[in-house]
Structure 1
Amino acid sequence: MAINLHIPARDAIFPVAGIRIGTAEASIRKAGRRDLTVFLLAPNTTVAGVFTRNRFRAAPVQVCEAHLAAQAGIRALVINTGNANAGTGEPGLQASNQTCEALASQLGVHATQILPFSTGVILEPLPVDRLIAGLPAAVADAQSAHWFEAAHSIMTTDTQPKIHSQQIDLGGTTVTITGISKGAGMIRPNMATMLGFLATDAGLPAPLLKTLASQIANQSFNRITVDGDTSTNDSFIIMATGASGVQIQSPQDPRFQPLVQALTQAARDLAQKIVRDAEGATKFMTIQVEQAATTEEALKVAYSIAHSPLVKTAFYASDPNLGRILAAIGYAGIDDLDVSKLTLWLGDIQVATQGGRDPNYLEEDGQRIMAQAEILVRVALGRGQTSDTVYTCDFSHEYVSINADYRS
């Protein structure tokens, strides 16, 4: 069950001029569902990406990195679900390259102008013949308004599509930002989400967009975790078509910061929707760490809390066994942490102070907060002025069931 996950109505999903999207049934893993998606990009669209740091990164990730480095001008993306094409060795690389070559041939472009993406089961050969056979139908289906269909097509264990769309005014011109993402488990992206695609009809030069992709990922997809596992296929792509007529060449342009803020907001929403639809999740938890000495320190504590199975199961049970949070803070890796300076809040309730239980804390207050669907855990370390936030969820029986039956 998704936790307060907003799916915009179709008439609130704005097409991005310069991008057409098509989907098709390729029977990659299961028959009778759309599992193949293509994004067709207008000439001069700039594209940047951030990818998994998992050393076992999938074949399509390796091909994407090579094609972006070639700077040939990306003209299309192709995404399959049902098979990750990871842990597939040289045959997997050949399959990703064959996919690019087949789509490039249909579009009359070079293979290095295609970015491939895969998501699904690891360690199984990609049925590339079926994928290639489905490409003509996906290309024929391409329309500018097909974001909703694409959000469904890229899903695996997701129960809901993840879509964000908005329009902003930049210097008197309306600019569109629309994106989709997918992911529900195996989420502790060390860069971005499992798959995320964000587009705008503003124009940005490739070097500036590349820098932005990393900055935006660090403020959004790099601040979520479901289970602490970094996928082999994580990919986050930003596309800027320039079709609105707005061209921003440098950070000094007064329109730059408003655009960055809107893109970051969109990416953060797409990232949080992954946590809201996490496998078996019943609680959405915000872990906010304040008064840290550094960002690294704040994130150590936040992720230590967010990854603790004991903390996550306590939240699922609405059990205010909050000593588990203190324990997670204690083993986060800050060797000189002075616990007498630490303060812990659950929602608006102060739970611990000066190294022990707050004298005014009542367990029934903690239980009231724990029963809510959205919960804030706030920690002040008393070490500095740096703050950071991580978003996570609880662990339920359903998480185990979903992952036990994933390949069935």
Structure 2
Amino acid sequence: MKPVKIGICGLGTVGSGTFNVLGRNSAEISARAGTEIIIEQVGARRDNPACDTSSANVTRDIFDVVRNPEVAVVVELIGGTTVAKQLVEEAIANGKHVVTANKALIAEFGNELFAKAEAQGVTIAYEAAVAGGIPIIKALREGLSANKIEWLAGIINGTGNFILTEMRDKGRDFADVLKEAQELGYAEADPTFDVEGIDAAHKLVILASIAFGMPLQFDKIFTEGISKIEPQDVTYANELGYRIKHLGIATKTEDGVVLRVHPTLIPEKRLIASVDGVMNAVLVKGDAVGPTLYYGPGAGAEPTASAVVADIVDLARELATGGKPNQAHLGFAADALQEFNMLPMSEVTTAYYLRMTAEDRPGVLSKITQIMSDKGISIEAVIQREPQNEGAQASIIMLTNRAQEKQLLAAISDIEALDTIEGSVTHIRVESLD
């Protein structure tokens, strides 16, 4: 059969990993694809010592790759949403299929790019955009296609998970662990996307759109990071039988869809609670299959390259047999995507962990519990840490039963207004994930 020729744009971590995997496993990959896959051209502004491209056709202008008539599949691995978007648009206009690991590009511009690709009869494949080497896109789009997906929840940012794991296991504070994460290469010099949840939000939007069959809606997601989590919160959570994880959660009900990324207490007995370090995991609840868990490395050169090459193989199979690659970019036919009511965070119902600092005197706890009762919130558990020195302040920790977010915030506002409460009340959402 006629070989399928690809062009790789970008030789960073993932680009070099993809180049190396394609070279090292060429026999197995070609056997699975049913045809030879050839790297026709590589576009990179500079060489990467992690891979030997001395025998490859390398250009310093990545747009040479999308204009190369021999290239059938463009592999976009440069990142960002400016040049990458221009590159993908030109590749589509030139009738080339695209494989990308760019979650920001898909989350923010996917609707527009998919429409252009469908009009040109080409496919954009993006398995590597979410959870690195875990084949979660294929699982949702193909393996679970018989199911109505009710909800999904994922640890989909390895940097945040590494930080929370270190805080729990070693009692370290956030800033200290973040510095180490940067030194180890887990976090960027500017870690905002990782620690404030933007990276996870990009990924969650993609997962939710495939799960529920709706257009990508990055502007509708609630995002909260982990930078305010303190070691004492991690300790108290463990004492109560929970672990704190930074989760992306997507839920569909009769009332609509909620997309949210935030720190969450989950019961330590749940499998996903044991996912530590830089690993990722996604828990999916389908009506037919029930809960299924997908676990593995969420980043790294070769784990992510594994997902990139899987997409290349899928496209090569179709091209080699003269077939038309699948264009159901979000797992549903383009004209079958639905617009759902997107519920605000204020309408979310969940349980809560609260921590507050109060004066150590009679009647304080009763006033707090009365406020909670007035707002229709019941309390499941209370821990009160007495001050070690006379006149010092006490810590009060509460677990509530399920309540609407707007009720909880109203109660917190009233509690913070008490003259016996020092500073703000920390609140972290609690999910049972069952």
Instruction: Say yes or no: TM over 0.5.
Output: no
Structure possessing the higher radius of gyration over alpha carbons = 2
Q: Which has the higher helix share?
A: 2
Question: TM-score, normalised to structure 2's length?
Answer: 0.27
